[in-house]
Amino acid sequence: MNKTIAGALCAGLIAIGNAGGALAGAYDTFQEMIGGSDFPPVTNERYRAECGGCHLAFPPRLLTAAAWRDMIGKLKNHFGDDGTLAPAVTKELLDYLVANAAQWNIQDHTPFAVSSGSANDGPPRITETFFFTTRHSRRVSLQEVKANRKVGSFANCAACHPNADKGNFSDHEVAIPGKSKPHD
């Protein structure tokens, strides 16, 4: 390998490392960055009805456009269920989700945009995003969540975030069932 290529690779790795460090601290300015509420609330009633009938109609900014395309493209196997919809409905939901998705921009360090996908080539999991894992791993363990019968899963946002349906995931409003005070 010549020195030019080796130097470029080293510079790239340093830049990635620096970006990762910046991302780790990005949540501190998160609410200010998007205007107060954690996420804009869901405004598409078809999406709220179709997806919210089984689980929280997740705010579109919880995933990137690419992740939503992947999610909607895998509705036949939607976390073990067949979530197939009529083609016109699928297109409407996909258009809405993509138009309102998180934007990944390394300059503004948007922490909720990176999804690692999931096992078995299933759809991407919101609970595997950088935003989610950073916010939850230091506060509550998966074991604690599964042991709490009123929560049961990290996907049950509304169990601890009473205003999740409005896009509000503020730390100040978290109330974990069975705990006497909001969880910090």
Q: Are 96 and 44 in contact (CB under 8 A)?
A: yes
Residue 143 domain flag: no
Which tens digits make up the pLDDT trace of 16-30?
444 444 444 444 444
Q: Which residue has the tokens 């989610």?
A: 132
Q: Are 68 and 97 in contact (CB under 8 A)?
A: yes
Domain that holds residue 122: 3-130
Residue 163 domain flag: no
At 88, which helix (H) or strand (E)?
Answer: helix 87-99
At 121, which amino acid appears? Answer: D
Backbone angles phi, psi at 178, to 5 degrees: 95, -10
Give 32's pLDDT tier (boundaries 50, 70, 90).
very low
**pLDDT of res. 183:** 47
Rg (CA), the chain: 18
Which tens digits make up the pLDDT trace of 40-87?
889 999 999 999 988 999 999 888 888 899 999 999 999 889 999 999
Residue 62 domain flag: yes
Give 104's pLDDT tier (boundaries 50, 70, 90).
low
Which tens digits make up the pLDDT trace of 120-130?
456 777 887 77
Residue 158 domain flag: no
Q: Are 60 and 101 in contact (CB under 8 A)?
A: yes
Residue 146 domain flag: no
Mean pLDDT over each residue of the chain, to the nearest integer: 75
Q: In terms of Cα–Cα distance, which of 138, 140, 148, 177 is closest to 161?
A: 177
**pLDDT of res. 180:** 52
Residue 154 domain flag: no
What's the CA gap between 106 and 116, in Å, rounded? 16
Q: What is the mean pLDDT of residues 155-171?
A: 89
State how many domains the chain has: 1
Q: What is the mean pLDDT of residues 3-32?
A: 45
Residue 141 domain flag: no
At 9, which helix (H) or strand (E)?
Answer: helix 3-24
Give 31's pLDDT tier (boundaries 50, 70, 90).
very low
Residue 63 domain flag: yes
